[in-house]
Every structure is written in C-alpha cells, then in structure tokens.
Amino acid sequence: MSARGHSGPERTPVPLYIITRGRSRPADRSALDPATLVTARCAPRSGMAPEHAAVLRLCGRPLAVAEVSARLDLPFGAAGVLLSDLRAEGHVELREPGAARARSGDADAEIALLRALIDGLQRL
C-alpha cells in the first residue's frame, strides 16, 4: 500500500489531510532536513495507522527522510508530520546529518567534519 493513500482493491486515494490529521507541520515544530536519517525503534503494532506502520517497515535500517517521502509517495511535509508523530511516541529515532550537527555547536562533530574535508581535499 502506498501511504499516499491508495487502499483496498479499488485503490481509492486517501486525502493527505486525513493522513496528517489536518496538520501541515510537525507537532513539535522541528525542521527536518531531507538527509536526516530515520531508524525504527520497534516493529509496527496492531491498531497503528497504516502510514505509521509503513514508515516503521521501511526504516528497519537507517533511511533518509527524503527517501521515506519518496518511497511512500508522500510530499516531504506530510512525511515530516508522520515522522514527528512517530518520534513523539518513541517509535523512531531521527539523526541529523553530520553537517547539521556541526552547525548546532557540537565541537566533536565540527572537528570530524573538518578532518573529513581536509582528507577529501588532500586526495584531490
């Protein structure tokens, strides 16, 4: 089933406002980077929304938010709403890409990023 809302044998589309419960932004107001990695912390449970279960099935291994959006055939914003819900419930872990961690002031991440940059430049 595509989370974009194709369900049942007749594949009737489900409007995005139903999938996101009318929200256009994540509940926690966080901005997700397309490269943020998503990892499921648990398996889908019975009674869970089909879209949430689809995300958990996809993210057994780390997967970028942009890839989750593409594989579920959802706009990036709608995928962000679903991921925010799952994070709030403790079902997924979201990890920022290295460059974003460096911008957030993490000194170790900044040093690692600079070392990687220097290594890449030296290989040129």
CATH number at residue 57: 1.10.10
Token reading at 21: 């419960």
Residue 43, in any domain of the structure? yes
pLDDT tens-digit map of 63-93: 999 999 999 888 888 888 888 888 988 999 9
Domain that residue 69 falls in: 16-97
83 touches 68 (CB < 8 A): yes
As a whole number of angstroms, the distance between CA 49 and CA 69 comes to: 16
Asked if residue 17 has pLDDT above 80, the reply is: no
pTM, two decimals, is 0.63
Indicate whether 50 belongs to any domain.
yes
Within a domain: 53: yes
Residue 21 has a pLDDT of 58
Task: Tell whether 29 is covered by a domain.
Answer: yes
Total structural domains within the chain: 1
* CA–CA distance, 17 with 62 (Å, rounded to integer): 27
Q: Report the pLDDT averaged over residues 101-122.
A: 73
CA-CA distances (angstroms) from residue 6 to 13, 57, 67, 78, 124?
5, 17, 19, 15, 48
In a domain, 70, yes or no: yes
